A and B are shown apart, each in its own frame.
Chain A
């Protein structure tokens, strides 16, 4: 079972209290961008086996969005952090490194 802690209200709840929101840290390509960029923005999502950064929403609780770093195989959660960030905070990166040395996810490692 996936157990997440919402960084907005502090509730530690199981998966059914939350709702997954797909890949984290997407850069939006909208009007004026090239077709290739727009296609990648819409459809080219990573689907790693292992460390993954995702968006989640506490939909049956405080209703806020946040980010989570977890392992897609073991469901281990390395940390959750605010939605208003462009990359994981150092503490979360360190927590991942401690458990999965040499990890990388898109441009982060």
Chain B
């Protein structure tokens, strides 16, 4: 058996905020009719979190549900539990048209932490209004980060977690490192 490694094996750097690849994060893509009770129930059972509404996410640390599109959820679970949760999802949705796939190793997850400047780092890279009130804890946004797709949420007012494709992990890390370079605070959003 191979030992699983994350894309950048926990790379980190310090600037106006700290940038860190958080390592292995279990991720399951669940597609289906999000209005159906069975899908909601299965997603909630897998995570212990409530079903989020449009463009929202209920995530606590490494476990939760994020709303990706009108027919897609991203289910976050601890990496070691993915196989068991996936099997449970498949069983619960046996009679339902759905798709549940382990995408943990196809993605990379970064965390920005260390203060409200995290908003500025994202605002430099994404066409998203990052001011408090427009984007807060509980929101989930899929967008473009410079040249690649990315999605992010704010666990709290002083940190952001970003999901991107594994193949662009180094690119995204370099972007975040540049946007968080020491002395680069703009002071507009904070």
User: A-side interface residues toward B, CB under 8 Å?
Assistant: 8-11, 13-14, 16-17, 59-64
Chain A neighbourhood of B127, CB < 8 A: 13-14, 16-17
- A8 near B69 with CB under 8 A, answer yes
A-facing mask of B118-137, CB < 8 A → 1, else 0? 00000000011000000000
Q: With A60-B149, A61-B69, A61-B142 given, name 4 new contacts (CB 8 A).
A: A17-B143, A60-B142, A62-B142, A64-B69
Q: Which residue of B lies closest to A12 (CB)?
A: B129
Give bound CA distance, A8 to B68, whole Å: 11
Chain B neighbourhood of A8, CB < 8 A: 69-70
- A62 near B69 with CB under 8 A, answer yes
- A17 near B144 with CB under 8 A, answer yes
User: B-side interface residues toward A, CB under 8 Å?
Assistant: 54-55, 68-70, 72, 127-128, 141-144, 149
Give bound CA distance, A60 to B68, whole Å: 11
Chain B neighbourhood of A17, CB < 8 A: 127, 143-144
Chain A neighbourhood of B144, CB < 8 A: 16-17, 60
Chain B neighbourhood of A63, CB < 8 A: 69
- A11 near B69 with CB under 8 A, answer no
- A9 near B69 with CB under 8 A, answer yes
Chain A neighbourhood of B128, CB < 8 A: 13
Q: Which residue of B lies closest to A63 (CB)?
A: B69
Give bound CA distance, A89 to B143, whole Å: 28
Q: Name 19 A/B residue pairs within 8 A (Cβ), A-sorted.
A: A8-B69, A9-B54, A9-B69, A9-B70, A9-B142, A10-B55, A11-B143, A13-B143, A14-B127, A17-B127, A17-B143, A17-B144, A59-B149, A61-B143, A62-B68, A62-B70, A62-B142, A63-B69, A64-B70
